[in-house]
Structures are given as C-alpha cells and as structure tokens.
Amino acid sequence: MAEGDFYSGKRVVVTGAAGTVGSRLIRRLLQHPIAELRALDNHENGLFRLSEELKEERRFHPFMCDIRSPAEINSLLKGMDYCFHTAALKHVPSSERAPFETVQTNIMGVQNLIQSALANGLQRVLLTSSDKAVNPTNVMGTTKLMGERLITAANATLHLTSSTVLTSTRFGNVLGSAGSFVPLFCGQIARGGPVTLTDRSMTRFVMTLDESVRLVLKSIELACGGEVFVTKMPVVRISDVAEELVELVAPLYGRNPAKIEIREIGPRPGEKMFEELTSDEELRRTVELDELFAVIPAFRNIYDRIEYAYPPNGTKGATRTYNSANEPVMTRPAIRKLLLEPDVLPPEVSALVAVKSERGVA
C-alpha cells in the first residue's frame, strides 16, 4: 500500500510533539492527506513555537497534555485512528537521578496510552524506543524496555476485545536531536576545547532526523502487532566524529584545529562501549527486511492469530545480532558528508558553513 493511501483521511495523534523527532514527524505527516493531526505535549514553550510555525495549517490541533494523566489521554484519543508515541524521558544521567519520575513517564505513561487507545478503538499505535532498551544497564533503558514489553503484551492479552495493532521501533542516535553528541562537541570546539570523549574506541549507531522519521512511518505501516522494529543504521567511531568536527568547525570560529585538544575522560556509569539494537536471545525470532529488522514476540502461541509476514522479503531469518561492534564503521569522508546533511549540525554552525560555502572557501 502506498504511504499516501495508508494515511489518507486518517486522524493522527503525536505525543511528545514539541520534541525533535515528534515535531519533524508532524511536519512529515502533514505532507500526506490526513484528516486531522493532534499534537500532544506538556512542554508549553515548545508547543507554542510549533503552533506558531503551523498556525496556517487547519488540520493541526495542539493540546497541552501530560502522558501521565489517563483522563487527558483518553479524552484526546477519542475519534482518532493512529498514534505515534514519542513522549519520554530520554536522558540517561537525569533518569538515574530521578528514577521515580522516569518510571511514571516511560512506563506508566505507556500504559495510560495503551489503555486509552484500546478504549477508543484506535487502529494503530507505535512506540518509539531506544537501543538502550537492549540489555539495559541504566534506568532509562530499563524503562524503555518495559514500555516495549507493555506494547507487545497488549496485542496478546487484549486481542479478544480489540483489533488495535500496537508496535514499537528502536533506533540509535538521531544526529541533531536534543541529546545528540554533535551539538555538544560543536559547543566545546567553539569555546576552544577540550572536546571530551569517554573512550576513543566507543562506537555508536547514527542516523539523520529525516531518516528516523521515514522509518518510523514505514514501521507503523508494516506492523502486524506486538513486534519490535529495529532500524538499520550506519556506525561511527565517536573519536572519528570528534576529529572530523574539529577539522570542520574550528576554522568557522577562527580557531586552529591543531590547537583543539580531544581529551579522553573515561566511560560514565552504565555507559556501553558499543550499542546493541538486538540481543542474543532475540536473534532466533528476528526477521531481516530491507531497511529494518523485526523482532517477533517471544510467546508465539499467544500470537497464533497473527501471521508475521513482511513484504517484499516475507520472513527471512536474521543471521546475526545487530550491534555497533559487529558492523563496519563509516570512513572519515562519509562522516563529513553525513555531518553536512540538513539538521545534523546546530543551526548556528550550519549558518557559518553556508557563509563559508558562499564565499567559496575550501
């Protein structure tokens, strides 16, 4: 089914609407013939800015809403068809300092959404998850894993009373998002350094904002129910990114790249040397598609009513766990090209790059 047909006439909800992924998702959805888009967030200023940008769009309706409030969510999901749930507490250090708050948002918030979606007869619900949900070593990752499990369980335990399809998608670092290491490094370079790395051999999955949104939209369309989609992404060595950013950004601020120190400070508590997007346990039930993997629910006897087949590859089994230690890393020229993609560098840095390009400076 073409994407335009899939969204035609649908009424769509996006939670976490003022966030990096949520706001870009909204703009992409509004390019399709949807009937209505409800944008939910508890961040007043962010929602106001988004509302100002889209004030001429009649299908767009912003609402101040906290995912922790069952009554609010239930009210705002009435009459809707699809829901993209991007609202979450996503920063590892702050989640470690406030675990109760993280549980309320990332676990209880997902439960509230599921119950409201089922009560209102939504057709599809997608949870955006994280690589940190795989073999979690911190509070944030643990709560995201529990969110995935709630989404999966809802398809199994409630299928007799509901036809709602619920699914999740995991991805790694979205370059240019609020939590990305790219703006952090750029700020350190602009101030003259040092650029701080936890470990030079650390690897990460990365993707652009547009690519992450495109694959989120693809996942909800492919969903059979209860599976976790995993996006295929390039891998970078963090030290390579730091070195490439020093070469690119330092001259923009009149600084000599050779004078910018790259300092190794050691891993933070709970930080992994590489990212995992599937686990050893999940391998035997993982299907490989063209741009995605699909992790099929473990308790298949509960899911006998669902045929897990995905066009065009059907049910081709995955042959390896998907983690950044097992994948080839990007070359330096490829990293430079990726950094120059839209919305990867901070706006002020992008503006300086544009000025430099206009002047024909190499």
* Closest-CA residue to 249 (of 189, 196, 194): 189
Token digits for 144?
């995201």
Helix (H) / strand (E) element for 303: namely none
Q: How many CA atoms lie within 13 A of 171 on its CB side?
A: 28
Token digits for 28?
């992409």
| Active site (annotated) includes residue 55 | no
Q: How far apart are the first and last CA of the chain?
A: 45
Catalytic residue among 132, 144, 218, 272: 132
SS3 of 124-180: the string is: EEEEEEEHHHCCCCCHHHHHHHHHHHHHHHHHHHCCCCCCCEEEEEEECEECCCCCC
Task: Give CA angle at 292 (288, 295), nearest 5°.
Answer: 60
Q: What single-letter DSSP state applies at residue 212?
A: H
Any idea which residues carry the catalytic annotation?
A: 132
